[in-house]
Structure 1
């Protein structure tokens, strides 16, 4: 049986032959919107079966003429199919409304596709390959996660970072969700949703609690929310939700950083934020005026935004790069961390090993932050995850079980400890996970370990150099 990865590779190789497509971003976009059209057909089929069982009538998202199964399996020639999709289907989708589902699908196609393939025959071959995918047999939305992960990695390898966005391994997402423990009825939000991995996993987490019919309806009422700046990740996020039956998510295209956080209405605040914000991306300087502590560092802006988007008592679990923790040479970093500690409860920090995200385009060291809005921090529970993870040896849920068990008791051990807020203030808000229980080796360290330590120090040097470049 041909693997999903092999089929995606075959599709990409077909796209590379087209004269009108010029690089990885173009290939990603073409695959994304075609996969999306196929996913809509899967959703329509599910909705029809559910409606039939419950005796309800529903309005289809797409009229029958425009559904994948209708035009894809018609007797149209390659040229006719190419003309139909370009000049009839896409313009039609961009104008549909009357229901929230239709409006969401229309929003996906407002800026996609930006290009069309040149060859009608290559276009037809790609459609045939996508049509062969039987999505009903796939577990954990393998198409979406694998496509998104590999596309980000390829753009990173080509020197075209995806705006600081990096795919988040599912075991990390599941750990974050377990620690935050969202409840049915709470508003859950990812302001930098990418392919909506956090939203889909949160939905699955709540479904596992076996909600009643009324509670399940609540889950589908728009209390699970996401926002994404870029059109392709947004399309993938919508598709991911659709394939996981999360058709009631409230998803929005837009730049989160463009919102003036000083003017967030209390009614727009949420109970839970789960996210992996961009780090290393760039924003327009005019947007920095929206923040109390302006900086070009998007990871700092994201924390400032989250603190103001949460309700009092609201909780956040997020991925953050190491630079946010250790940097004390810029006021924006220090002031943001001071607010995080003095006005909010930073109750846990999980230090992740260097290279965990290397397989998806970045060697940055990262950490997990967990905090609650509205009450000052007394102390912070730290955990240091060790191990070497690569693309061929990805992190697993079992690798995080020790962290989960110790977190529940805030246990102290060789790889977990507690630091008082007062001590962190004395460090000028350097929040780095400095394990006091780690035994210093008196013997010579192995070369691999020395290389790892050098890489970690180089990351810190890179941050400082970038800062100097901005000042020059």
Structure 2
């Protein structure tokens, strides 16, 4: 909300003296608070003082806009609104003025759901601006703020706005010269939104808004409200802006931010980083001096407490830069296709930067011998002449052709390691100028050229983690099949903790996706050189298998084997005509895969149907049997994510499950909360199998109900590291815990028809039973109240003339 106030203050001196440029002093003595800030704070006060269901919000909006507004008679009210402010009987006046949008930012911070923010916005808007365009402009602004605060990225917010409110089929550069003063929502809200969408940080958003002219204070207030929620507010701007507020206005702001903390923005060489304010930190209330001093002290402390070199922050910074590349592609490239362009271009840049580092190192070691510096043994990968990043950067035309030539050349020069790593992205059409003009591709190349992504610039961990953020975001955007493309990292961590791979052991993922589980296994083994040559994965999707290879390279992994192919029909890892076996087997295979090759599996030459052949409508137990067959006979462990239906479904699966149980390989079952995986509401479970159970685990299965061990978030349930540790500790203890764990014997499972449905075994707390006499009493008490209420209602209806006797 403070972002809207700052936008208003900055824009105040330009409302009647437009500045068609981004070059100006941000906050000066000529700035002042106008009606935009005063009404924004009035709405904030109304929200703070309303009931929990906001049923009295409209009434409070009128009350506080009048009460607070009357203290500032000369702050720039429009004619109709001024009359409304001083009216004894204020009524809406069918306005579509931009005053509706400039005052609603607090609604975006208070709301808990998208539907609620729309309801709050309407409640505070229709008391004056009840024209559809007024309500629409306010709602679009409040929704954008809510989405920004909820963690949505620029592209997602823009997509929602363009689909539901305004087309935004213009850029600021296109309208700047001719845009004029406009007080309507439809003539200012789209422009204010575009100012945010074209921004790089909070201050840049405000400068964008001012630079187009028009109703500068209101446009900047709308833009600032969204930018503040998205980026946060820089500490120096926050402190300066507070000095423009008198005691009455400052107190409202402090009370609101103590309940709904704002975000701090930090700017560094990589970009904008938003840091959430500690919800426990409260600014002191009191007189203006006390509030100013407390506000400044807290802002400075939070700034000092932030650690700019923290690797997680650094990874997030790098991710922000990488994801901005998607913004350059937006329009001609569908968001489902972003990964096919951004992934290879990042890897191309990384290879070139590392090559340059290795060249410089060789030059220093050889006293400047350029021929020596080009020797292949001095480089991780060979880059042929004309195929370096710099060659593409220098291309002035046919940039797409230059990109393809370079990528193909690098592939051919490194057949053993990089074959197909670029060309696997067959849906990326770099040379189609109807989709990607030379200008757009040059913008993309220049954007990526702004940062170096070599080993000297980013460690493998930071580089890999930022790429993991990118993969997750691609999964967020693609929705379809996202669960197959990306497994939440916390689940991956739990699987690897269960497997406990030892340094020197082999690890295999038969459905490796983007390689996240193999990377976590390498990390678990502390990136030891003994992992070289012992990491294996197979992935059916061609481009996803290429991403897995890139992901492993970016994480610093070496000498691994990732292959492409259909694991169930044609497994790639064989030894002497048999399946190769591994110490650790891990996977999150596609749930309930259909038409997977049941008939071929029924006569499988590798003996993977040892417990039976599932139907062609569900491959869950085919994956499990493949993984069991891939386990080393003595030391093999297997951790797999499957839908919970495998625990109790009948038919052929019941017989397979029976043999699984009697094999005594199953050591642990963990059920997970629903909604923890992308794009699927299916409840999942983890099965952990072991060919070398501890003696006291033999003949027993540890069943863990993890369905209530999670952290709820707006869009999706997640498991934090703390949640993962809780589940893992329950497995480690391997003992009964009421409501959580039951360690059962195979005999007990047999008695229940070989069902593994955990609810059939977990002991529950005894439920308190209400005596029948008490239930009857409660029923008749409620009935009596209902009869009395109906009687009262009828009397009121008769009295009002709504019904006849």
Q: TM-score range by the shorter chain?
A: 0.7 to 0.9
Shift of 1:32: 2.1
Q: CA 1:374 to 1:181, structure 2 compared with 1: closer, same or farther past 3 Å?
A: closer
Aligned to 1:14: 328
Shift of 1:312: 0.5
Q: Is the 8 A contact 1:303 1:336 kept in 2?
A: no
Aligned to 2:590: 278
Match status 1:320 vs 2:642: yes
Provide the C-alpha distance between the structure 1 equivalents of 2:358 and 2:764, rounded to a whole number of angstroms: 55
Structure 1 stretch 32-41 or stretch 3-12: which is displaced more?
A: 3-12
Aligned to 1:116: 429
Aligned to 2:629, which of 281, 302, 308? Answer: 308
Q: Is the 8 A contact 1:180 1:316 kept in 2?
A: yes
Deviations 1:370-406 (A, max 9, x none): 1023889611112222234335773221112222223
Q: CA 1:251 to 1:45, structure 2 compared with 1: closer, same or farther past 3 Å?
A: farther
Provide the C-alpha distance between the structure 2 equivalents of 1:381 and 1:54, rounded to a whole number of angstroms: 58
The 5-angstrom pairing of residues 169-208 of structure 1 reads 169-207=488-526
Q: CA 1:54 to 1:443, structure 2 compared with 1: closer, same or farther past 3 Å?
A: farther
Q: CA 1:263 to 1:76, structure 2 compared with 1: closer, same or farther past 3 Å?
A: closer
Shift of 1:190: 0.8
SS in 2 for 1:370: strand
Match status 1:404 vs 2:766: no
Aligned to 2:614: 294
Aligned to 2:751: 426
Match status 1:90 vs 2:407: yes
Provide the C-alpha distance between the structure 1 equivalents of 2:569 and 2:358, rounded to a whole number of angstroms: 35
Shift of 1:115: 3.5
Q: TM-score, normalised by structure 2?
A: 0.47
SS in 1 for 2:626: helix
Shift of 1:443: 7.9
| Structure 1: gaps (5+ residues) | 445-472
SS in 2 for 1:311: coil
SS in 2 for 1:318: strand
Provide the C-alpha distance between the structure 2 equivalents of 1:403 and 1:60, rounded to a whole number of angstroms: 40
| Structure 2: gaps (5+ residues) | 1-270, 273-316, 367-375, 771-805
SS in 2 for 1:57: helix
Shift of 1:59: 4.9
Aligned to 2:111: none
The 5-angstrom pairing of residues 29-108 of structure 1 reads 29-41=340-352, 44=355, 57-65=377-385, 68-73=388-393, 75-77=394-396, 79-86=397-404, 88-97=405-414, 102-108=415-421
Provide the C-alpha distance between the structure 2 equivalents of 1:199 and 1:300, rounded to a whole number of angstroms: 22
Q: TM-score, normalised by structure 1?
A: 0.78
Match status 1:234 vs 2:545: yes
Q: Is the 8 A contact 1:424 1:431 kept in 2?
A: yes
Shift of 1:193: 0.9
Q: CA 1:341 to 1:140, structure 2 compared with 1: closer, same or farther past 3 Å?
A: farther
Q: CA 1:377 to 1:254, structure 2 compared with 1: closer, same or farther past 3 Å?
A: farther
Q: Is the 8 A contact 2:387 2:406 kept in 1?
A: no
Provide the C-alpha distance between the structure 2 equivalents of 1:398 and 1:60, rounded to a whole number of angstroms: 38
Q: CA 1:227 to 1:443, structure 2 compared with 1: closer, same or farther past 3 Å?
A: farther
SS in 1 for 2:350: helix
Aligned to 2:477: 154
Aligned to 1:243, which of 521, 535, 554? Answer: 554
Provide the C-alpha distance between the structure 2 equivalents of 1:178 and 1:309, rounded to a whole number of angstroms: 19
Q: Is the 8 A contact 2:676 2:716 kept in 1?
A: no
SS in 2 for 1:317: strand
Q: CA 1:126 to 1:200, structure 2 compared with 1: closer, same or farther past 3 Å?
A: same
Shift of 1:140: 6.9
SS in 1 for 2:632: strand
Match status 1:254 vs 2:568: no
Q: Is the 8 A contact 1:192 1:226 kept in 2?
A: yes
Provide the C-alpha distance between the structure 2 equivalents of 1:335 and 1:51, rounded to a whole number of angstroms: 63
Q: Is the 8 A contact 2:348 2:389 kept in 1?
A: no
Q: CA 1:93 to 1:280, structure 2 compared with 1: closer, same or farther past 3 Å?
A: farther
Shift of 1:151: 2.1
Aligned to 1:468: none
Aligned to 2:468: 145
Q: CA 1:260 to 1:246, structure 2 compared with 1: closer, same or farther past 3 Å?
A: closer
Match status 1:370 vs 2:688: yes
Q: Is the 8 A contact 2:542 2:564 kept in 1?
A: yes
Shift of 1:271: 1.3
SS in 1 for 2:419: helix
Provide the C-alpha distance between the structure 2 equivalents of 1:54 and 1:426, rounded to a whole number of angstroms: 72
Q: CA 1:66 to 1:229, structure 2 compared with 1: closer, same or farther past 3 Å?
A: farther
Provide the C-alpha distance between the structure 1 equivalents of 2:590 and 2:531, rounded to a whole number of angstroms: 27
Q: CA 1:388 to 1:178, structure 2 compared with 1: closer, same or farther past 3 Å?
A: closer
Deviations 1:429-466 (A, max 9, x none): 3222225222365589xxxxxxxxxxxxxxxxxxxxxx
Q: Is the 8 A contact 2:541 2:564 kept in 1?
A: yes
Q: Is the 8 A contact 2:703 2:742 kept in 1?
A: yes
Deviations 1:54-81 (A, max 9, x none): 99934552325355443245x321x243
Aligned to 1:436, which of 762, 780, 784? Answer: 762
Q: CA 1:85 to 1:227, structure 2 compared with 1: closer, same or farther past 3 Å?
A: same
Q: Is the 8 A contact 1:183 1:206 kept in 2?
A: yes
Shift of 1:288: 4.4
Q: CA 1:261 to 1:151, structure 2 compared with 1: closer, same or farther past 3 Å?
A: closer
The 5-angstrom pairing of residues 346-385 of structure 1 reads 346-357=666-677, 360-373=678-691, 378-385=699-706
